[in-house]
Amino acid sequence: MLKKKSLETYYAISSRYDINQKKIITCIAETDGQDFFEFIASFEKIVDTEISSLMKKIKGYNFTASELRDLTDKFSLDIAQTITSILTENNLTFNDVDFICVENPSLGHDLTADISKFLFKKLQIPVICDLNTDNFSDYFKLIVKSKSLKQSLVINLDENFEIYKVNDAVSYLDSTLGYSILRFLSLYCNVSPEQVSYLISQGEVDQAIVNKLLKVDNLEQLQKDLINLIMLSQITTEDKLKTAFAVIKSLLLKNLAEFDKGTNIVLIGSTSLIEELNQSLKEIFENVYFVKNQSQRQLTLLNEQLAFLGAKKYAVENYNNGVKIS
């Protein structure tokens, strides 16, 4: 059984569908939604082909009402199973959980699968849904505070290596084509995204291609050139991905060049390329910190954001009716 801390914290489960990995990702955390957040565990489940096929069909607007109900029921049941599994894995019960946060999965521009009511009815735990997770400001400030830092640059490595300046406020500075483009390029190479990090570690950098790409200052053009120059080259798959990573890393360092070497750098993310990035940054900056935001199995930054924001709402609103929408 978990032991609650003296401050008012909540045990939150957050669950969402990652469209890139076709996985349901679920995590459990303890947080007060303000000054405290502790990641406890995560669990993932690949959705079966029947659900994937239904999602694809419905997104193409070629479906019946019964198929939409079928998808919602099956998907909701999968979410419920991952929640049960993460509790079982960690010797917890439903009584240990204060609330569940979910994203109702988008099925098109104006259509979502409403899984929240199903989950409350089945699990009898308050459910919070449809939170806006676009703004990471409060969560990033909490991360910086947890490292006993004041002003810092936070770099989100999970997608496009976005850079944020964090002090009393949070401001977005810049981004570099990051891990998301590496996953995208892997599809061109017909390899699974999970293999990207390993293949990069086995490759060699084609410096001539790197030199050409570093002269491109338009991010959209760079994305096209990465495909044209690297994917259409005759070098091996390992060398293609290693070269793309070298370009991305160089651009990240270039974006940080204007900052003093005493600037605090906080890295958050789950990519296993973290060590190489970490080492490159430590050659320039004096204070580089890595915040492990997940188990080693999957990306959970958005899950943590969900749980953190959910606790904010749960602390001030009445959830006796089961489901609340942001």
The tokens for 144 are 């910086």
Is the model's pLDDT at 47 over the cut of 80?
yes
**Band of pLDDT at residue 205, cut at 50, 70 and 90:** very high
pTM above 0.85, yes or no: no
Q: 10-133+299-325: what CATH class?
A: alpha beta
Lowest mean pLDDT across 30-44, 118-132, 178-192? 178-192
Domain boundaries, the chain: 10-133+299-325, 152-262
11, pLDDT greater than 90: yes
